[in-house]
Amino acid sequence: MKVPERKEVKPEYCWDLSSLFENEDAWEEGLVQYRELVQKIPSFQGTLSSSVEAVKTCLDFMTELGILEEGLATYAHLRLSEDGGDSANQDRWGRFLQVSTQAEALAGYLKPEIQSIPSDLMEQILEKLPDYRIMLKKILRYKPHTLSPSEERILALQQEANQTAEKAFGALTDVDFDFGVLPTPEGEKPLTHSTFQSFLMNPDRSIREKAYRQYMGLFYQYRNTLSSLYGGSVHLDIYIAKVRNFPSSLQAKLFPDDVPEEVYQTLIQTVHEGLPVLHRYYRLRKKILGLPALRLWDTKVPLVPDIRVRHTFEEAVDRVIASLQPLGEEYCSILQKGLLGGWVDRYENKGKRSGAFSAGTYTGDPYILMNFKEDHLRDVFTLAHEAGHSMHSYYSARNNPFPHYNYSIVEAETASTFNEQLLMHHFVQTTPSEEFRRYLTVKHIDDIIGTFFRQTMFAEFELQCHTSVEEGRPLTVEALRKLYRNLLETYFGDAVIIEEQDEVEGLRIPHFYRSFYVYKYATGLAAAIALSKKVLEGGMEERDRYLLFLKTGGSLFPLDSLARAGVELRTPQPMRETIRLFDDLLRSLEEYYS
């Protein structure tokens, strides 16, 4: 089927961006206003220690600027996402970046100057300016880790150079790498990052093996270069942590969200407790596939043949809304109206960004990019996932001042995967087909493996690499391969044979260049599973606590926000609940295949 040009897509299938700007001319006027306001940023320098009123004047101005900047950025980004090949979209985004980069440079004095305000005056500011209290407290937390103005300037000048390892990794693996083509019964097909995952789900084992060896072979061939790049990224993390007076790179990365190191360690330790259950699953997979032993290319192929269930976009919305009824009439009516009324850019077109995302703002609608396909059940789950993000943004923006409405990644992943849990429960409860329920069980198991077990393994690898360097052990290619092989053997167990090529899998993960990030996926899913269970099994109190969590935004640190909702990530309990759910799902599968 021909992929349409953007201009060929019906307007009712596209998002309506008028909540941001009525049209392109209005955006251009906003950019002119933004450019003028940016020039006023330096006018507040040196005034913040004079009075409460001076601080309020400055912060009110920066808030006005921030709201305008967010709207301009989101509109330009969404237009670029809908058609990245359109030169006008590219130009619009580039012109915005030029001004926003200048704004960031001009505002560099603000945080150090806020931190230098005398304590007695700061007490008055915190008391009299409640709309800025939390933001100011977060800035003040950084005081022990903020350097002198000249030192901060040196660090700021390093920012572009600091991206060298990540940019080189992307250029090498996304541009220079050519994975070639793969022979299939339907003819030769290109092997790429995206098709690699599809090949691993092919029922023909010879195709899976060929794809895996061909794909991973290129990473193995460049293992020395990739090890050097990742090692450089690790050393940079440790350098910045030391310069900013953090005891370790892990603590430096956890500091912005006020997450204790023990939470990270507890996640790893608790998952290790659950590894025997994961090993049981791989032994069952080996039995179902009828193989003497599994290889990594056997771990993703579906155990139940793909179920062909069609949903039009409108039917998918109906399914999602039906599954979210436990959240009440207000949540569902707002979401349904948004999904059908301009929030969503629905279908693929030439030049459109792949995948899906949600983009919320303080003053505009929380938009969703989709590439919806009627015969892909996973797209219904993706819609529920992105709807969770959008409703989080919707409630947060309407219940917080602008400086406090942005929430953390941990909270974001909780809200999105929470919706997926409710949708899964809805499908299981309403389908009459035993085969479809089994398909859903396997999907649920695979989702937990991918988001909880695998991301924790990645998080453990990151920690071991950083700790190794911090303790004075060089991060050679052989050291990296050994660390990763040990983790593969630990997590996959005796049902899966680990081969030499597998040892370089850790060198292909782009998230590792944003260190200590992936643990948020695992903890977010654990929180979502715990909260969805409370809402499904509870009443209005549990529902209202969850809705309060969505409304909290960034006005609390994530662990405190989640604790108030009813899940305490400072304890192993949520992770153990996830493992128990996995065990229950696995037992139902074991009973069927016994």
Q: Which residues are marked as active site?
A: 386
Q: Which of 264, 289, 192 is nearest to 463 (CA)?
A: 264
Amino acid at 306: D
Amino acid at 400: N
Burial class (CB in 10 A: 0-12, 13-18, 19+), 93: middle
The length of the chain in residues reads: 594
For residue 307 the two structure tokens come to: 């179920």
Task: Collapse the DSSP code of 219 into the 3-class scheme (helix H, G, I; strand E, B; otherwise coil) and give the result.
Answer: helix
How far are the Cα atoms of 429, 439, 537, 569 from residue 584, in angstroms, in the given order? 16, 15, 17, 22
Element (H, E) at 181: strand 181-184
How far are the Cα atoms of 175, 193, 335, 387 from residue 344, in angstroms, in the given order? 31, 26, 11, 10
What are the backbone angles phi and psi of residue 358, rounded to the nearest 5°? -115, 140
SS (H, E, C) 405-463: CCCCHHHHHHHHHHHHHHHHHHHHHHCCCHHHHHHHHHHHHHHHHHHHHHHHHHHHHHH
For residues 271 and 282, the answer to whether their CB atoms sit within 8 Å is: no
SS (H, E, C) 358-418: EECCCCCCCEEECCCCCCCHHHHHHHHHHHHHHHHHHHHHCCCCHHHCCCCHHHHHHHHHH
For residue 445 the two structure tokens come to: 């198991």
- H runs (alpha helix) in 290-368: 313-323, 329-340
Sequence-ordered list of residues with C-beta below 8 angstroms from that of 565, at least 6 positions apart, any chain: 531, 545, 546, 548, 549
For residue 146 the two structure tokens come to: 């903020």
Burial class (CB in 10 A: 0-12, 13-18, 19+), 162: middle
Farthest-apart Cα atoms in the chain, separation = 76
Task: Collapse the DSSP code of 496 into the 3-class scheme (helix H, G, I; strand E, B; otherwise coil) and give the result.
Answer: strand
For residues 534 and 546, the answer to whether their CB atoms sit within 8 Å is: yes
Cα–Cα dist 114/122, whole Å: 9
For residues 357 and 369, the answer to whether their CB atoms sit within 8 Å is: yes
Cα–Cα dist 249/53, whole Å: 38
Cα–Cα dist 510/462, whole Å: 12
